[in-house]
Structure 1
């Protein structure tokens, strides 16, 4: 623990995803004091046309009380 799931528009290369995972890991280590070996990062591709239904509504709007960084957009 902790386990972080990053959901983003499909189309990033494996190299980009690896870099994202590395940077998220560093941030968690710094902010939470977790060891590198305790952190896992998953990256899920989401088609832009499915974003509102599969990410915004269930993960952002429905869980507003758990969101510590809100997006600067409204769903389409």
Structure 2
């Protein structure tokens, strides 16, 4: 605990995915005061044509109570 799920379009290299995983893990550790042994990260890849139905509608539009950073520009 915690487990972070990152959903992204297909096409990123293994190097990019490893870097993202490392940075997400470091951010969780620094922000929530967990050790590396407590953090897990999963990457779920989607084709661009699937994004709206499989991610945007269920997780962003219908997940507003859980959404802490909305798409677009604005404060982090």
Q: RMSD between aligned alpha carbons?
A: 1.1
Structure 2 unaligned residues grouped into runs of 5+: none
Give the Cα–Cα distance (whole angstroms) in 2 for the partners of residues 61 and 34 of structure 1.
Answer: 30
Deviation at 1:21, TM superposition (A): 0.2
* Equivalent position SS for 2:55: helix
Give the equivalent residue in structure 2 for 1:55: 55
**Mapped partners of 2:70, 2:28: distance in 1:** 18
Q: TM-score, normalised by structure 1?
A: 0.91
Q: How does 1:13-52 map to 2 (within 5 A)?
A: 13-52=13-52
Distance 1:57 1:2 in 2: 24
1:52-73 CA distances to partner (integer Å, 9 max, x unpaired)? 1000111111110111100018
Structure 2 CA distance for aligned equivalents of residues 4 and 30 of structure 1: 14
Paired position in structure 1 for 2:71 = 71
Segments of structure 1 that go 5 or more residues without pairing to the other structure are none
TM score, norm. by length of structure 2? 0.91
